[in-house]
């Protein structure tokens, strides 16, 4: 597979263009979907979700066939879109107050039966509340993990049902992807998610509109430690600490084993530097 390519944005965000998140992930586990959840998404919606996955794979195939200058062109368009959106006023959370030593942690791509419990253990031991952006298909398979996340005081966000790049499929499919994830979360917890983060951070004005129609608030980030690339734990910790600054909003992945190893040390070091860990709701108020 070609190495991931990145677009470096003026927000300090690295977006993976062809990396991990671009590829629809296969079923995470043979664990069956629990019966009470099976009917939450209708057969029509499931057919639409399957079509969305096909569309994402078709996009990936055609993207992979592009010559190098075609990739550059696509990245330029993505940067233009970000530039345009940054100058529009749209509701979102991208950082906290710049004058407070606050940091908010978010975890994407779970729940994962091997890693999420370890991350939850670490957060509980440190007394830190975070936000978990769930992949709907995984939430459907591991509803007990979702309940544990909520029971331990963390917030939930929508990270689409199949973890597709939502700007690369038709708007109606992107809507189905977000809506299905919200339905699963609501069925498990009794509440629809307040936040959403599109996979890979890929959004455009159409997707922002869909999120608003679904009554969710877009969440981006200030810094990605890059755990998804599976770096050695020591360099992951060093890199993550570089993202510490007042109002930081960090994006981790709770399906990466190294993340569970690093988070306790990261929290200890951040606290030693005078940082306080706050939930996203604090950033929303500020």
Residue (129 or 253) nearer to Zn ion, CB:
253
Of the listed 108, 112, 162, 227, which one is catalytic? 108
Using CA atoms, how far apart are residues 177 and 182, in angstroms rounded to an integer? 9
The interface region with Zn ion, picked from 191-199, 208-216, 244-252, 272-280 by CB under 5 A, is: 191-199
For 57, phi and psi rounded to 5 degrees?
A: -70, -35
Count, residues in the chain: 286
- Does 255 engage in binding with Zn ion (CB under 5 A)? no
- Distance between CA atoms of 229 and 234, rounded to whole angstroms? 14
Element (H, E) at 69: helix 68-86
Using the minimum distance from each CB to Zn ion, give the nearer residue, 199 or 226.
Answer: 199
Q: Which residue's CB comes closest to Zn ion?
A: 108
- Strand partners of residue 251: 106
Catalytic residue at 179? no
Nearer to Zn ion, 102 or 280 (CB): 280
What's CA 63's distance to the chain center, in Å? 22
**Span of 105-113, 207-215, 238-246, 270-278 interacting with Zn ion by CB under 5 A:** 105-113
x/- string (CB under 5 A) for Zn ion, residues 70-89? Answer: --------------------
The count of chain residues that interact with Zn ion, using the rule CB under 5 A, is 4
**x/- letters, 120..159, toward Zn ion (CB under 5 A):** ----------------------------------------
State which of residues 17, 24, 107, 108 lies at the interface with Zn ion (CB under 5 A).
Answer: 108
The CA distance from 56 to 36, in Å, is: 29
If binding is defined by CB under 5 A, does position 254 make contact with Zn ion?
A: no
Tell me the two tokens of residue 92.
């979102």
- Footprint of Zn ion on 197-226 (CB under 5 A): 199
Considering 163, 253, 254, 255, which one is annotated as catalytic? 253
Q: Cβ 159 to Zn ion, closest distance in Å?
A: 6
Choose one: 102-110, 118-126, 230-238, 271-279; the region binding Zn ion (CB under 5 A): 102-110
162 as an active site residue: the answer is no
Site string for Zn ion, 10-39 (x = CB under 5 A): -----------x------------------
Residue 109 touches Zn ion, criterion: CB under 5 A = yes
Nearest approach, Cβ of residue 205 and Zn ion (Å): 21
Residues involved in catalysis:
108, 253
Q: Which residues bind Zn ion (CB under 5 A)?
A: 21, 108-109, 199
């Amino acid at each position: 597979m070609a190495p991931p390519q990145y677009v470096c944005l003026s927000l300090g965000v690295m977006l993976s263009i062809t990396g991990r998140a671009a590829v629809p992930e296969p079923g995470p586990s043979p664990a069956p979907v629990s019966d009470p959840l099976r009917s939450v998404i209708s057969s029509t919606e499931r057919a639409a979700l399957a079509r969305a996955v096909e569309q994402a794979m078709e996009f990936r195939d055609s993207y992979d066939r592009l010559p190098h200058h075609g990739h550059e062109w696509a990245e330029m368009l993505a940067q233009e879109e970000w530039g345009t959106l940054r100058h529009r006023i749209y509701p979102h959370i991208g950082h906290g107050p710049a004058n407070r030593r606050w940091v908010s942690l978010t975890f994407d791509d779970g729940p994962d039966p091997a890693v999420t419990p370890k991350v939850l253990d670490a957060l509980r031991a440190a007394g830190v509340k975070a936000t978990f952006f769930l992949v709907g298909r995984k939430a459907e398979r591991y509803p007990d993990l979702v309940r544990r996340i909520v029971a331990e005081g963390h917030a939930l966000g929508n990270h689409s049902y199949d973890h597709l790049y939502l700007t690369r499929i038709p708007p109606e499919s992107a809507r189905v992807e977000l809506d299905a994830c919200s339905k699963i979360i609501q069925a498990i917890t009794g509440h629809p998610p307040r936040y959403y983060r599109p996979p890979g951070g890929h959004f455009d004005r159409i997707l922002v509109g869909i999120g608003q129609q679904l009554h969710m608030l877009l969440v981006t980030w200030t810094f990605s430690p890059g755990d998804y690339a599976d770096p050695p734990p020591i360099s992951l910790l060093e890199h993550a600490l570089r993202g510490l600054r007042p109002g930081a909003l960090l994006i981790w992945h709770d399906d990466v084993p190294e993340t569970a190893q690093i988070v306790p040390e990261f929290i200890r070091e951040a606290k030693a530097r005078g940082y306080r860990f706050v939930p996203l709701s604090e950033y929303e108020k500020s």
